[in-house]
Amino acid sequence: MAGAAEDARSLFRAGVRAALEAWPALQIAVENGFGGVHSQEKAEWLGGTVEDYFMRNADLELQEVEDFLGELMTNEFDTVVEDGSLPQVSQQLQTMFHDFQRGDGAALREMTSRITQRKCKVTATALKAARETDEDEDDADSVEEMEVTATNDGAATDGVCPQPEPSDPEAQTIKEEDIVEDGWTIVRRKK
């Protein structure tokens, strides 16, 4: 029985790592070094930390998992996740943990496999503004806008990693006439 429990735990560990490696917000944070020079090591540490969190707290609610992951991303990667992926990743982790508690190795393998197949390669590029920022603006207070592009590694995704539609370079820049006196930007519909 101890062997089966260890096998289920290793399957849960693999599932946690797969879910975190497939998480676009974490991929972007690691790729761009948001966690400092040791971003990759922090991402690996994150997998063990999340696994331990579930092991120490057997009856977690979804909101508790979301809060924990959000706090880790904020503290370790200086990243606030607002793309709607936090509840999805939390639900995946919670489902895998319930499978682990039941000793359902087949369900853990299947979910890990499905997550791995849907994994996307995510890249982020800075958007360019037509207007330069004020010279007296402090760089520490500035916010850089990012455009995120997700590409699939070749597997079917069922809409998980939609390809962005080709965009007009004019649409990605803020036009001078759209910026009003007080610093607000007018957003216009595409024609």
Please enumerate in sequence order all residues whose Cβ is within 8 A of that of 73, keeping only pairs 6 or more positions apart, or say none: 25, 26, 29, 79, 80, 81
Q: Given this model, what pLDDT does residue 158 score? A: 42
Task: Judge whether residue 14 has pLDDT over 90.
Answer: yes
**Residue 151 parent element (H or E):** strand 146-152
Q: Given this model, what pLDDT does residue 187 score? A: 74
Q: Given this model, what pLDDT does residue 188 score? A: 74
- DSSP one-letter string for 100-146: HHHT-HHHHHHHHHHHHHT-EEEEEEEPPPSSPPPTT--GGG----E
Give 52-98 pLDDT, tens digit per residue: 999 999 889 999 999 999 999 999 999 999 999 999 999 999 999 99
Task: Judge whether residue 23 has pLDDT over 70.
Answer: yes
Between CA 72 and CA 16 the distance in angstroms is: 15
Look up residue 100 and give its amino acid: F
For the whole prediction, is pTM greater than 0.85? no
Between CA 120 and CA 152 the distance in angstroms is: 5
